Amino acid sequence: MRRSAVLIGACILMLAVSLAYAKPCPQCGTENIDEAKFCKQCGFEFAKADEIRKALEQERAALLERADSAYKAGRWEDALTSYRALLQKDSGNELAKGRIPECERKANEEKARRDQEARAAQLRREYDAWLEDARKNRTYRLKTARGLLDDGKLYEAGRNSMLALAGDWNWKEGRALLKEILSKATWNLSVCDPEAAFGGLTIAAPYKEELKQQALMVCREFAFGVLEIDVSIPGAEIAVDGRRIGVSPVEPESLAAGSHVVVARKEGYYDATESVEVQGGGEITRVSLGLRSATGVARILSNPTGARVLLDGTYAGTTPLLDLTLDGGQRQVVVESKGYERWSGILTVVEGETASLEAALIAKSKGKAFLRSALLPGSGQRYRDRTGTGWVYTVAQVVSAGAAVFGYSAYSSAFDEYEEAVRDYESSGSEQSWQRMISKHNDAQDKQKTSNLTLSLAVGVYVVNLVDALVF
């Protein structure tokens, strides 16, 4: 017992000693206790190791702070340099490992953008230099264009005049010559070919396109004129070459030089059409359109008076209708009055004339009401303007007829079951089959009574409906 206790105590002591030696020597690797100041094997001073470790940690922290600051500010090259340096000091730093690829990508993008901006700036400088040269030589080019125009070479003159204007599109002398060239070409824009004038230049493609668009704008400015349209009646729809431009009065319209067709249209008036020749060079051309009234007067009468009148399905009043102003043309007229047949006809209205129409209304007869009710119960009553009564008969007939059909169907099914019970009794002759046959017989008899009753009701409703249509 004592020996076991001694062994256990020795083990505990050895474990305590082994745990106490927890600091490895960075020089020889010997394990020392955590509070050791010198290595028990080689005498290395641990305080120097702590200073080295603290200095390394401070350096890592400074690198991380510098890298994060550059990363947040978007200075990708600075951030990349700092993260790489941090990774050299701390190879296990996961943040640096994760951000280095992103910084490399964004640094490359930033470099490509700077290169692109530098290239664009260089191209702009080259273009500005070309414009400056064009301004210096514009007088010579304009003189060349004038000579080509005098020789009748309109296309060559047009290209040279555009080159002369390229340095300053507002140059008065150059614009005057270009306008003259276009007028001699009857405002044909093809005489000014921006592609031929600027396509062969050595400047960058976007600037070539800019010159082409500016040249085309100036040419169109000269090849277009202004059309002022005056209409005698306000509120008319105005169209030029089939394109709606607004309602009179309208603002002046910019149009290509040449022939155009102007149309003014308003309900109740005849269309006014005019062909006009628009001059180029911004000249103003005026055209006046007069609309003639297309209305007439209508008189609609009926016998008897006081009937409702519908024109093309729209209520127009009650007869007599006198001095009714209508647009010219044909109108569908419907005249209706309680107790009379509906009358319909066509009214033709002629401009400046009076059209008359008289409807002779025919009283609704009991005979027609009887025939209608015979075909559909209640329709004769509605024909005689007894709408509520008519619908009562119609609904009653539908309900009673439905009940009759249903009653007969139930009787037919009960009778089939009775016949089946009879056959069963004839084959077996048992008391049970006899009772079943008697039960089915009674059920069929009840169903037959119900069917006869509903059929009588349906016939009664039909007959009363006919009598009502004929008498009342």
d(C-alpha 188, C-alpha 256), whole Å: 10
Superfamily of domain 224-289: Carboxypeptidase-like, regulatory domain (2.60.40.1120)
The SS3 of residue 313 is coil
Q: Which residues contact 158 (CB under 8 A, 6 or more apart)?
A: 145, 178, 181, 182, 185, 191, 192, 193, 197
d(C-alpha 336, C-alpha 200), whole Å: 82
pLDDT digits (tens, 9 = 90+) for 171-194: 888 888 888 887 777 666 677 777
pLDDT digits (tens, 9 = 90+) for 337-346: 988 889 999 9
The pLDDT score that the predictor gives to residue 18 is: 45
Residues in the chain, total: 472
pLDDT digits (tens, 9 = 90+) for 204-255: 888 888 888 888 778 777 777 888 999 888 889 999 988 898 998 888 887 8
The pLDDT score that the predictor gives to residue 46 is: 63
User: Which tokens belong to 155?
Assistant: 């296309």
Half-sphere exposure of 417 (CA within 13 A, CB side): 16
The pLDDT score that the predictor gives to residue 14 is: 43
The pLDDT score that the predictor gives to residue 256 is: 76
pLDDT at 427 over 80: yes
The pLDDT score that the predictor gives to residue 218 is: 80
Surface-to-core class of residue 238, CB atoms within 10 Å of its CB (0-12 exposed, 13-18 middle, 19+ buried): buried
- Mean pLDDT, range 365-370, rounded to an integer: 85
User: Which tokens belong to 222?
Assistant: 């000269």
Lowest-confidence region among 8-12, 154-158, 252-256: 8-12
pLDDT digits (tens, 9 = 90+) for 428-466: 888 898 998 889 888 888 999 999 999 999 999 999 988
The pLDDT score that the predictor gives to residue 422 is: 87
The pLDDT score that the predictor gives to residue 325 is: 81
Alpha carbon 164 to its chain's center: 47
pLDDT digits (tens, 9 = 90+) for 280-324: 777 888 999 888 777 788 899 999 998 999 998 899 889 998 888
pLDDT at 401 over 90: yes
Average pLDDT, the chain: 83
pLDDT band, very low/low/confident/very high, at 23 (cuts 50, 70, 90)? low
User: Which tokens belong to 125?
Assistant: 């400088």
The pLDDT score that the predictor gives to residue 452 is: 92
- Residue 268 region, left (φ>0) first, then alpha (ψ -120 to 50), else beta? left
pLDDT band, very low/low/confident/very high, at 334 (cuts 50, 70, 90)? very high
For the domain bounded by 295-363, which CATH number is listed?
2.60.40.1120
pLDDT band, very low/low/confident/very high, at 15 (cuts 50, 70, 90)? very low
d(C-alpha 241, C-alpha 218), whole Å: 24
pLDDT band, very low/low/confident/very high, at 22 (cuts 50, 70, 90)? low
d(C-alpha 205, C-alpha 209), whole Å: 6
pLDDT at 16 over 60: no
Handedness of CA 180, 184, 190, 193 (dihedral sign): negative
Long-range contacts of 84-92 (CB under 8 A, 24+ apart): 86/60, 89/56, 89/59, 89/60, 89/63, 90/60
Q: Which residues contact 264 (CB under 8 A, 6 or more apart)?
A: 229, 231, 233, 236, 237, 238, 248, 271, 272, 273, 289, 291
Residue 422: count other Cβ atoms within 10 Å of its Cβ: 14
DSSP character at residue 191: G
Lowest-confidence region among 24-38, 330-344, 365-379, 388-402: 24-38
- Which phi and psi angles does 364 have, rounded to 5°? -70, 135
Q: CA-based Rg of the chain, rounded to a whole angstrom?
A: 54
User: Which tokens belong to 94?
Assistant: 């996961």
d(C-alpha 219, C-alpha 227), whole Å: 18
Bigger pLDDT: 183 vs 151: 151
pLDDT band, very low/low/confident/very high, at 262 (cuts 50, 70, 90)? very high
Q: Can you give 224-255 as a three-state secondary structure string? A: EEEEEEEECCCCCEEEECCEEEEECCCCCEEE
Rounded to the nearest 10°, the torsion over CA 47, 51, 53, 59 is 180
d(C-alpha 402, C-alpha 450), whole Å: 13
The pLDDT score that the predictor gives to residue 19 is: 42
The pLDDT score that the predictor gives to residue 166 is: 85
pLDDT digits (tens, 9 = 90+) for 38-77: 676 777 666 666 677 787 788 888 888 888 888 888 888 8
pLDDT band, very low/low/confident/very high, at 86 (cuts 50, 70, 90)? confident
Structure pTM? 0.38
The pLDDT score that the predictor gives to residue 133 is: 85
The pLDDT score that the predictor gives to residue 123 is: 86
Percent of the chain at pLDDT above 70? 90
Bigger pLDDT: 441 vs 2: 441
